Structure 1
Amino acid sequence: MSLLKPTQPLLRLLLNRQWTPTNQRIRLRPQTQASLSHPPQQSFSSHTPHNHQENRMTESSNLPKTEEEWRLRLDPEQFRILRKKGTEMAGTGEYNKHQPDHGIYECAGCAAPLYRYDHKFNSGCGWPAFFDAFPGAVSRHEDRSFGRVRTEITCTNCGGHLGHVFKGEGYGHPTDERHCVNSISIKFNESTPAAEDKLNPKY
């Protein structure tokens, strides 16, 4: 019997060595299986083409704060008109005779939506003409330059100069107004009809 005593601890040690790795393998199997059945998900940027279309507008907090910053953001002609309240020559603008069947006209300075395609009409004045704008998109200011009183219109989001608004000219539109806008001040965005309707109901 005395010869067996030394072997019992040895047997226990051997048994422990045999079962410990097995126990570890059993304990790890569910984790391994779970990791295989649920691989890491790929993260996608929020700036997909669809989202980019909806988030084109530069928020007011991210807009240039000084005229020098605007000068870096805009080309010289855009800066002259949008920031210095200039006017392009009549009949020379890109959108003077532009008459699409869908889409949105945005501010060239910050991409804020300003006008629907069906707000636009042919006034024959030499500049793009609109009879209405998206609610709150355009602000009005008294303009006493050149010895006369007019109503200036600017982009509400960034303050960029768009042109002037005239009333009572008899074009027969619902608002009886003509927004006389510089082509340089706007950019056309060929949006989807759903996006147009989301911004403003159709006339």
Structure 2
Amino acid sequence: MAQLNIENRVIENERIVLGREDIAFLGPDLTLRGCTVTIRVTARNLILIRPRLIDCIIEVKQELKNLRWYRAFLKGCRFTGTMSGNDFGLWPVEEGAEKTLGGIEEAARTLGGIEDCDFSGARLDACRFVNCDVDTLKLPSWPCFTFLAPTHRQRELLAAPWPGTSRITVEAMLKSPPETAAVTFSAPAVAKYGGTTEESLRAVLQTLDGVRF
């Protein structure tokens, strides 16, 4: 495998390809602006060290599993491809760190965060958005669906008549940090591992508040 280090610079309007055989390090002190980033590496081989991606197109060419995007600051980016178990935004930080960095907004810009990004052309499953304003994001429509502030609606969600074993998915989601602003799922994926159908899931989702299709 080849090690690819992209750091200590500003790159504008270029195509960056992270190939299957790469171990890619993005950052530190890296800003990508207006770039097209093609991702073929696994999450294990993509190491984010607080890069800033602004107005970029991010093309995921093979399913990207369990990448912690909260180690990057993302603004105005458009995503395509399939992602599962990815986390975006600003992961909860200690109060002392927030104060040192000048509050949560500056912490997001320093440690990681997301705003004004477009996922409408992506397929997301079990992807969380933490400590961010979901209203600035374009999330994918059905067959994807999104729970808004799920940990604050725990009683309602647990009381719903989930078909098959899909309740397990809901219970797992509710273990997310209380700062979780949204979680997006793929109905085909949930139906498959929940032993049910997309139509049965949608019938329950339509009875709930705080769900986007």
Classify the TM-score, shorter chain: under 0.3
Q: TM-score, structure 1 length as denominator?
A: 0.25
Q: TM-score, structure 2 length as denominator?
A: 0.24
Q: Look at both structures and tell me which one has the larger radius of gyration over its CA atoms.
A: 1
Identify, as 1 or 2, the structure richer in strand.
2
